Amino acid sequence: MKNLKIAIVATLTLVFGVSSCIKHEVIPAPVPMVDLSCHFIGTVNGTTVELTENVLGYYCTTSKAKILLPSPSLSSASYFSQMLSSSTPVSAKIALGSVMWDAATAIDPDVAAFNAFHGSNLTPNFSTLGATGFEFSYRDGTGVTWTSKSNSVNFQDVTFSSIVQESDTSGDYSKFKCNFECYVYHTDAVTLVLDSIHVQGAQYEAWFKR
């Protein structure tokens, strides 16, 4: 009996000793990521055009253009969002600017200025290259790019809505829906003739990145 007790104690000691040496895997907490999605639909020159994320390879890419000036002059930034695909030339692109800030304090506007600009600029004017307002560019199936004009004599209108500002480890984003109507223009490189097409009932849903 005594030997049996000794054997049991030895066995338990061995079991607990081995289990105490097992290293448990530490699984890090999930990192929250901003949910980003993009979609464009509109009637372009009488034909419905729809670009859907992950269909025919479509995705959204963003960029910005900055004009940096020495303080005390304010610098400016315009933001661009484009839906495009490597498998087809058709694309849609919008621009919106400009956020003003002192570049002596930071290379980019801070989050507060970025958010305030997009949250309050709901019905911007049309502007060349989005320098002081909104611009829409459309690339057709032949690779020709058509662009809105700030001084168009034709009706044009744009409204931003559903604006949500979110951030994660990859950056700061302004998510939005944009409804607009306008004419877009292209000048033939040979004949120098200016032509236009009508964009109606357009909605662009995507984001800008700070």
Q: How far from 142 is each of 15, 89, 182, CA to CA, in Å?
A: 74, 7, 21
SS3 percent helix, strand, coil of the chain, rounded to 5, is 15, 45, 40
Predicted TM-score of the model (pTM) = 0.84
pLDDT digits (tens, 9 = 90+) for 124-180: 999 999 999 999 999 999 999 999 999 999 999 999 999 999 999 999 999 999 999
pLDDT digits (tens, 9 = 90+) for 97-124: 999 999 999 999 999 999 999 999 999 9
Domain boundaries, the chain: 35-209
Count of residues making up the chain: 210
> Across the strands, what pairs with 146?
138
Quick check: 169 and 207 in contact, CB under 8 A?
no
